[in-house]
Chain A
Amino acid sequence: MDTNPKQLNELLEAEKQEFLTVMSHELRTPMTGVKGYLSMILDGDAGMISDDVKEYIAQAYVANDRLIRLVDRMMKTAAVQEGKIKFNIQKVDLVQNLIVLATDFQIPAKEKKLSLVYNKPVSPSGGPEGKIFVMADPDRLREVLLNLISNAIKFTSSGKVEISHRKINHYAVVDITDTGQGIKKEDQNRLFEIFNKTNLTLAGQEKGTGLGLFLARKLAEAQGGKVWLESSEVGKGSTFSAGFPVAN
């Protein structure tokens, strides 16, 4: 053997990364074929189909999309754990990002007849458009907030989802409060574990991948932020919070 343990370890690490990249590509390609052909049947490219067929194909399409999302998240999870995601930390306006997200999520909220309210901070001059600058990677920051807002909408069947701001020490905190069914005490500390199955107890809901909150927390922590469950009560709802260091 002319390879010492350190070199061997580096070699294995490099191979693992290569393996993940190739696997991701190899899995996505057939799933793209399934998605594409199913969508073409739904588009009517293969001729008229009955309503039953249309519904079954639509279900297969949704299931396949879930598989695509799962692969994406698994790859991202692996990349985060390996420290392979590069973070481009800069001064970002939290408010501007939340305005965009709150606007984007009006559609899914409306579909579920939920009201989505964003309580924007008041500017020092008393104007309505305050700004809150934090240090974060803009794309990853959005990903963390998007995950929390989309969860809140997904797991709330009536009432509202509210986004608001507060400050704790040198952290700008975003609270996302829902009127969903809340999370049982015994499930609360497993929420951020990888492949947590807490969401599988929700009957009739779109199932989660069990990776979203794990990933949100990891992504937040890797850029100096935090994600946590602030409070939750069964039958009343939950508040999830994300904090990022305030920019000077």
Chain B
Amino acid sequence: MKTILIIEDDPILLKMYAKKFEKDGFQVSQAVDGQDGLDKLANSEPAAILLDIMLPKVDGFEVLRRIKEDPKTKDIPVVLSTNLGGGEEDRKKGQDLGAADYLIKSDNTPAQIVEKIKGYIK
């Protein structure tokens, strides 16, 4: 069974995405802040990561940078999901850091996010 790591500090959204991925047959690893996410990543091998940007402790861009720096994790597709109105600038920053995609949470249903992530899993 493939694992998805979800790093999301809002408990309601975290539970929502976790439920949807489980419904779709994934195993879900959940992290509530950037540091927690990096810790969870150290002892699991997720097929993909759904990563919030505005996170306590270590923000999403920094988490992404560290994931892509580490040879062990650099090939895992990371999809940034945010409700920040940063627009093109943030999208580009994510792209430059190696994100597979950049999604606005309020524009996507959980089903759409699952479908998009599935598209990035080899």
Contact = CB atoms under 8 A, between A and B. Distances in A.
A205 interface: no
Contacts of A68: 106-107
A33 B13 contact: yes
A37 B109 CA distance: 9
B105 interface: yes
Interface residues of B, number: 19
A72 B106 CA distance: 10
Interface in A14-42: 21, 24-25, 28-33, 35-37, 39-40
Nearest to A42: B109
A35 B109 contact: yes
Chain B interface mostly helix, strand, loop or mixed?
helix
A39 B110 contact: yes
B16 A33 contact: yes
Majority secondary structure of chain A interface residues (helix, strand, loop or mixed): helix
Interface of B: 10, 12-13, 16-17, 19-20, 23, 54, 83-85, 88, 105-107, 109-111
Contacts of B19: 40, 45
Interface of A: 21, 24-25, 28-33, 35-37, 39-40, 43, 45, 68, 72, 75, 79, 139
Given A25-B54, A29-B13, A45-B23, A36 B110 contact: yes
B13 A40 contact: no
A141 to B, nearest CB: 14
Contacts of B110: 36, 39-40
Nearest to B9: A29
Contact of B83 (A28, A37, A139): A28
Nearest to B17: A36
Contacts of A139: 88
Given A29-B105, A43-B111, A68-B106, A37 B16 contact: yes
